[in-house]
């Protein structure tokens, strides 16, 4: 079995980060984002990226770091309401945006990972989401066709990995990570703990190691996106 463990995010990205690629990034808000891999991607100075992610982080963290440096050309996203720089670039015509309903985006990534080129959904029928897309009627109802997503590279964050790349996510940090992990031609997992093969209960593995090419252990920096406290 090839050794999937790399010593640093920079080393894990070596040979996979290139100008013009499409990259899927796991996470929801700041929960479950591969923050150190994102920093390494920024430091690689690659440009003209198409980023597929539920959202674009916040100003100064997550994918917001790549927006600040102008490395992202296009975002394929669902929610972008926490990032002022995203808004500025979009309104100025500097950033191309492809909005997706949240469930549709998740299914597009899952479908790509499963080898399904397209599927039909009722979500978005009769709205701007369906403009220019094929529609078809099934049992008297109209559905819109959405394409599966396959990316050149996927960056995900997991709680535990074994040396074969089998991944476990922790609670809501699972979010988009399993779909992102499966849809990449190459997938790098940033993890908090690496254990020996056979340590993880097979029934508790969320992403099989067949989808994961490289693993890097990092010390997480878990920032809170919205802090709400009682007065």
Burial class (CB in 10 A: 0-12, 13-18, 19+), 126: exposed
* Pairing, β 135-138 against β 167-168: unpaired
Rounded CA-CA distance 158/173 in Å is: 8
Enumerate domains of the chain plus CATH numbers. Answer: 5-118+149-217 (3.40.1080.10)
Condensed to tens digits (0 to 9), the pLDDT of residues 6-25 reads 999 999 999 999 999 999 99
Condensed to tens digits (0 to 9), the pLDDT of residues 103-161 reads 999 999 999 999 999 999 999 999 999 999 999 999 999 999 999 999 999 999 999 99
Residue 15's SS3 state is coil
Angle (nearest 5°) at CA 110 between 141 and 127: 35
Which residue do the tokens 């010390």 mark? Answer: 219
Query: Contact at 8 Å (CB) between 178 and 138?
Result: no
User: For the chain, how many residues are written?
Assistant: 231
Condensed to tens digits (0 to 9), the pLDDT of residues 23-35 reads 999 999 999 999 9
pTM of the model: 0.95
């Amino acid at each position: 079995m090839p050794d999937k463990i790399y010593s640093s995010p920079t080393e894990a990205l070596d040979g996979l980060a290139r100008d013009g690629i499409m990259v899927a990034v796991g996470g929801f808000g700041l929960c479950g984002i591969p923050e150190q891999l994102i920093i390494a991607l920024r430091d690689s100075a690659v440009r003209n990226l198409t980023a597929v992610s539920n959202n674009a982080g916040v100003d100064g963290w997550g994918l917001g770091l790549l927006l600040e440096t102008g490395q992202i050309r296009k975002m394929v996203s669902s929610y972008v309401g926490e990032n002022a720089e995203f808004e500025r670039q979009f309104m100025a015509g500097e950033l191309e945006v492809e909005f997706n309903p949240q469930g549709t985006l998740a299914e597009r990534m899952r479908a790509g990972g499963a080898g399904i080129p397209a599927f039909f959904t009722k979500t978005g029928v009769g709205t701007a989401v369906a403009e220019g897309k094929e529609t078809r009627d099934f049992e008297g109802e109209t559905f819109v066709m959405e394409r599966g997503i396959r990316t050149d590279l996927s960056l995900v964050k997991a709680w535990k990995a074994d040396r074969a790349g089998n991944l476990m996510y922790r609670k809501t940090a699972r979010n988009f990570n399993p779909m992102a992990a499966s849809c990449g031609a190459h997938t790098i997992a940033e993890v908090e703990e690496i254990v020996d093969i056979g340590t993880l209960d097979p029934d508790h593995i969320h992403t099989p190691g067949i989808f994961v090419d490289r693993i890097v252990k990092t010390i997480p920096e878990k920032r809170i996106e919205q802090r709400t406290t009682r007065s």
